[in-house]
Amino acid sequence: MSQPVLDDLSDQVLTSIEVLSIPLPGRDTKPNETWKARRNVMIGSAVISVPAQADFVYKFLGVRTLGKTDYGLIEIDGTIRGRRGDGLDVGGSCYGVALVLLSTGEVIQGKLSIKADVDLTFGRKACKAVGTLDVRIRPPAPEKK
């Protein structure tokens, strides 16, 4: 009986991780250079969610060296809106930052906050659902010896 709920929850977790994966521009970038990407996202919970579109603007802030490894510091800014043709009134914004391993593009650490609202109709009554999704990726804790 729990399978549908767990499927919905795992879909939400995967979607959350996906919004913090950063498509790199495929070329060398300079500090303060920006690029854009569009992603489909689901706004809501495992109980009720609606499709939306996120328009992200990524800004390369520069290189950070930790130990002997170079990381790119990237700012994420964006807007959330309903997908064209879905007929849903969805709006919102997102903001975050991430450290990306320059050699592979892997996000090592990051956080992203999405704030959105959706106008819905329940039982012929108009209502507004408002929520925030906070996504964080952290490096694993060092193993204890």
pLDDT of residue 66: 85
Q: Which residue has the higher pLDDT, 69 or 4?
A: 69
* Residue 53: alpha-carbon gap to chain centroid: 11
Give tens-digit pLDDT for 78-131.
Answer: 999 887 666 668 889 999 999 999 888 889 999 999 888 888 777 888 888 788
Domain ranges of the chain: 3-137
CA 76/CA 98 separation, integer angstroms: 8
Measure Cα distances from 75 to 12, 34, 57, 104 in Å.
23, 9, 8, 18
Identify the DSSP state of 139: P
* Model confidence, pTM: 0.81
What is the spatial distance between Cα 118 and Cα 92, in angstroms, rounded to a whole number?
9
Q: Report pLDDT for 139.
A: 80
Q: Please write the tens of the pLDDT for every residue from 15-72.
A: 667 778 888 888 888 999 999 999 888 776 656 677 788 899 999 999 999 888 899 9
Nearest-angstrom CA–CA distance, 36 and 77: 10
**DSSP-assigned beta bridge partners for residue 92:** 80, 116
